[in-house]
Amino acid sequence: MNNPPVAGPINILISLETICDNRAALDRLAELALLMQARLHGLYVEDEELLDIAEFPFTQEVRLHSAAEGGLERNLLEQQMRSVSRQAEALLAQVATQWGVEWQFQRVRGKITTELSRAAQQADIVSILAGNRSSYRGRFLSREQAEIKQLMNRPCVVLPPRITPGKEVIAVIDREQDLPHLLEPARLISQQGKRPVIIILQNAASDDLRTKIEQFFQNHPVDPQIVTLRPAPATGGLQELLTLLNRYSAHMVLIHADNPLLAEAAPETWARQLNTPVMLIR
């Protein structure tokens, strides 16, 4: 008699070479893993392209704190990468242990976008760090865009470089069909009402839509605040939404990945402006 296959835990992919020095981001992901009964999958990519560059005869290393220059040797760079990966693994283990969640660590060598894209195929949620540039995707060459697009085809948590402590879980809703995809994670992340839940409706809310939201939360100890966004006719609503979000101290913002406002500004921009993680739901 064949037993039915047992589903494995949800996997949250973490790109450790970009996030390993951001303890607040790791804590936020570990909390998410705890609430979702998920496993943290830390991936550290030893950048093969950077190692190849180190072999060029005129490659120089500039040390940020001293502005001193020196030759860059491949074997030394490999040692540095290995040292950083061990530190990243130790920090991941520490955070996962403190939050009581499963974790795994993987170190690979290759092209960063290729390895991230490959790992994302086995992930349920991916996470990226929004750096100081306008867009995470804008950091890569055009030939790498397809791999980044594939990476972000999963539900994605965009983490800002600086995360401030937050209170509210905020769901931004554009259309009725997105309700189940956004309300359930909002309820979950609110920890059964320990955090306030704010529902922002981008269009004038019908009584029927409000009733459906209230009915969803009837069986949960959550009393959401429903707010309607009223953008000026000449704008797409993005600036009004960001202004509204800044009135709160969000713990996390949830929005569907197909929301048209994301075409006006990348979610990395939102995360940096709000200093809070933005979760793209699919």
Would you list the domain boundaries of the chain? 10-159, 168-281
Overall average pLDDT of the 135-139 stretch: 47
Sole residue written with tokens 């809070």: 276
Residue closest to 25 by CA, chosen among 8, 42, 45, 38: 42
In the numeric block, which tokens belong to residue 224?
A: 């959401």
Q: How confident is the model at residue 2 (pLDDT cuts 50, 70, 90)?
A: very low
- Give me the CATH topology for the region 10-159: Rossmann fold (3.40.50)
3-state DSSP assignment of residue 280: strand
**What are the φ and ψ backbone dihedral angles of 66, each rounded to 5 degrees?**
-120, -10
Per-residue pLDDT at 90: 93
Q: Given this chain, do its domains 10-159 and 168-281 carry the same CATH topology? A: yes
Q: How confident is the model at residue 270 (pLDDT cuts 50, 70, 90)?
A: confident
Name 159's bridge partners: 129
Per-residue pLDDT at 68: 46
Residue closest to 209 by CA, chosen among 247, 178, 164: 178
| CATH no. of 168-281 | 3.40.50.620
**What are the φ and ψ backbone dihedral angles of 252, each rounded to 5 degrees?**
-160, 145
C-alpha distance from residue 167 to each of 119, 164, 248, 253 (Å): 32, 10, 8, 11
